[in-house]
Each structure stands twice: as structure tokens, then as C-alpha cells.
Amino acid sequence: GCAICLGVEQDRAQVNVMMSVPVEIQLYLAREADTLALGAKIAGFVAQGMFIELHGNLGSGKTTLARGLLRGLGFVEKVKSPTYTLVEHYKLPELDLYHFDFYRFNDASELADAGFRDHFEQHNVCVVEWPERAFGILPAADMEIYLAIEGEGRRARIGAETQRGKNCLVQMKAK
């Protein structure tokens, strides 16, 4: 093959190797403002059809991160926790964002009965607190964000299960 073709093949090989390597970001968030800022930063990489899981104990900052994400997407009204309503819908100029809280679910049939799986479509962004309560019936998450209380602040660990999520993390790391 020609030199140009070999160069393209080498580039493809490097991209394939890079994408098979797990990508993870870890951050220490000293204050609530840092959690909000992380959400706003993630907003810069969110696209229609994305699914983001938020993991962490009660009080670890999941709803605060979701509020930062919504602020970063231009939502200026009050952001409510979906703890009692199970889902809050935010209609934004570029996309619809559904913020779920599955803490109250006890089995998969409750999720199926609620009809929430219909929201996981290509034109929506879905952010889910307590996804482990969905008992494995959700699609693969583009981003998984784990928040843990550490001292006075929070430790955030961000991973990805999909190619789209890995691409977002690679771009986030570069900025």
C-alpha cells in the first residue's frame, strides 16, 4: 500500500487501541460550587440520546451535580429533586432532559409499570440517580458518575460504558 494509506491505517489502529482502553476521570470536589461546576463542564459534552448514571449515597451530591448540568445547558429555573415525583422533565432548546430518581423502586416491575423506559430514546438525555435500583433493565450508560463523601468535600469518579461516553471523557480530559 501507499504511504498515505498506511498512515490512515496506523491512525485507525491507534484510535481502536485508545477506545479499548478504559477512560476514567477522578476529581476532588472541595465545595458544592465545585460539584455544580463539574455538572456545567459535563453539559458541554452532552448530546441527544445520552444516558448518564449518578451513583452515590444519600447526600453525596447527585442532585447538585444534575443541577449544575442543567445550569450548564442553560436552564435557569428551579431544579427540583425527583425523589418524590420519580422524574422531572426539562424542555431545553436543543434537547429534552429527564432526571430520574429510582431510590424508591423495590423491583424491576415497578420501573416497567411506570413506563420510564420509553424516555430512553435518541432525542432525549436521561440522567438517573440510583440506577442500580432499575435491576439491569436500563441501557448501557454513556457516562457513570460515582460521588462519595470524602472529608469536607466529595470524590467524583467518572467512567463510560459506551463509545460515545468514552469520546466525551477523552474530550473532557483534553480541556
Residue-wise pLDDT for 10-28, tens only, equals: 444 444 444 455 689 999 9
Q: Which amino acid is at 43?
A: A
Give me the pLDDT at residue 103, please.
86
Q: Which amino acid is at 8?
A: V
Nearest residue to 53 (alpha-carbon basis) of 118, 165, 124, 145: 145
Name which residue leads in pLDDT, 3 or 42: 42
Per-residue confidence band for 80, with pLDDT thresholds at 50, 70 and 90: confident
Residue-wise pLDDT for 82-95, tens only, equals: 877 888 999 998 89
Averaged pLDDT for residues 120-138: 85
**For the whole model, what pTM was predicted?**
0.83
Give me the pLDDT at residue 4, please.
41
Q: CB 150: neighbour CB atoms within 10 A?
A: 13
Please provide the DSSP assignment of 116-151 as one string: GGGG-STTEEEEEESGGGGTT-SPPPSEEEEEEEET
Instruction: Report the chain's mean pLDDT, rounded to a whole number.
Output: 84
In the predicted structure, residue 81 carries a pLDDT above the cut 90:
no
Residue-wise pLDDT for 24-68, tens only, equals: 999 999 999 999 999 999 999 998 999 999 999 998 999 999 999
**Residue 114 burial (10 A CB sphere; 0-12, 13-18, 19+):** middle
Nearest residue to 147 (alpha-carbon basis) of 41, 50, 32: 32
In the predicted structure, residue 167 carries a pLDDT above the cut 70:
yes
d(Cα 94, Cα 72) in Å, to the nearest integer? Answer: 13
In the predicted structure, residue 7 carries a pLDDT above the cut 70:
no
Please provide the DSSP assignment of 80-119 as one string: PP-TTTSEEEEE-SS-EEEEEE-TT--SHHHHHHHTGGGG
Rg of the chain in Å (alpha carbons)? 18
In the predicted structure, residue 98 carries a pLDDT above the cut 60:
yes
